[in-house]
Amino acid sequence: MTTSEHNTAAAPAADDAIVPDTKDWTWVLERPCADCGLDTGAVVREDVAGMIRANAEGWLAVLAGEPGELRRRPRPEIWSDLEYACHVRDVFRLFHVRLNLMLDEDGPLFANWDQDETAVAERYGEQDPAVVAAELARAAEVLAGAFEGVAGAQWARTGDRSDGARFTVESFSRYLIHDPVHHLYDVTGERV
């Protein structure tokens, strides 16, 4: 995985490439996010499943908008609402895979994921909002259910990113929830 899980400043270049966000967002585990307002340190791990579901509801409301508006970027360097929703859907899917790796293997190394490359390859801005809404809702429910199944010593199991970041299932849950919360803030401007 790249050092970034966010893409708050993705811009298409002439060849439709997205300017990568190279920030290491693991800092959200150490202090509240000044933008979206989420304090992951205050998140109770057992609450993450409910937070995922609540966040998905917010995305479904966004995706109920007019398709042309959902595809419109507010500025060239900022993703459209639809692109953000596609990213969040894929984050839910990816984190489900990684959670399962952490629960099934000892100290797995996560495969790299280039979110910006995925956005271009999957043509995020051209996807059908109704399909994205259904896929996002399903991915959120699957991930929420997986977190609900975590118990006891499983919260201390670990997994590593290729950049050296190490997570426990607990820190992974708190790191995860910041991404969709932050992106919903990017789209709606509503802080938590």
Per-residue pLDDT tens digits for 72-123 = 998 888 899 999 999 999 999 999 999 999 999 999 999 999 998 899 899 9
Question: Over pLDDT 70: what percentage of the chain?
Answer: 90
Picking from 163, 50, 139, the residue whose alpha carbon sits closest to that of residue 87 is 139
Sorted by where each starts, the structural domains of the chain and their CATH numbers stand as 44-188 (1.20.120.450)
What mean pLDDT is predicted for residues 51-79? 95
* Those residues with Cβ within 8 angstroms of residue 103's Cβ, 6 or more apart along the chain or in another chain: 150, 154, 157, 169
* Those residues with Cβ within 8 angstroms of residue 44's Cβ, 6 or more apart along the chain or in another chain: none
* Terminal alpha carbon distance of the chain: 27
Using the predicted structure, report yes or no on whether residue 19 has a pLDDT greater than 80.
Answer: no
Give residue-wise pLDDT tens across range 111-164: 999 998 899 899 999 999 999 999 999 999 999 999 999 999 999 999 999 999
> Which pLDDT value is given to residue 145?
98
Across 51-177, where does the E strand assignment appear? 158-160, 166-168
What mean pLDDT is predicted for residues 174-190? 97
Place of tokens 């043509």: 123
Q: How far apart are CA 33 and CA 23, in angstroms?
A: 14
The per-residue pLDDT of the chain, averaged, comes to 90
* Those residues with Cβ within 8 angstroms of residue 165's Cβ, 6 or more apart along the chain or in another chain: 3, 24, 26
Compute the Cα dihedral for 150, 152, 155, 156 and give only its sign.
negative
Q: How far apart are CA 147 and CA 152, in angstroms?
A: 12
pLDDT band at residue 5 using 50, 70 and 90 as cut-offs: very low
What mean pLDDT is predicted for residues 50-60? 98
User: Is this prediction's pTM over 0.85?
Assistant: yes
> Which pLDDT value is given to residue 77?
83
> Which pLDDT value is given to residue 18?
56
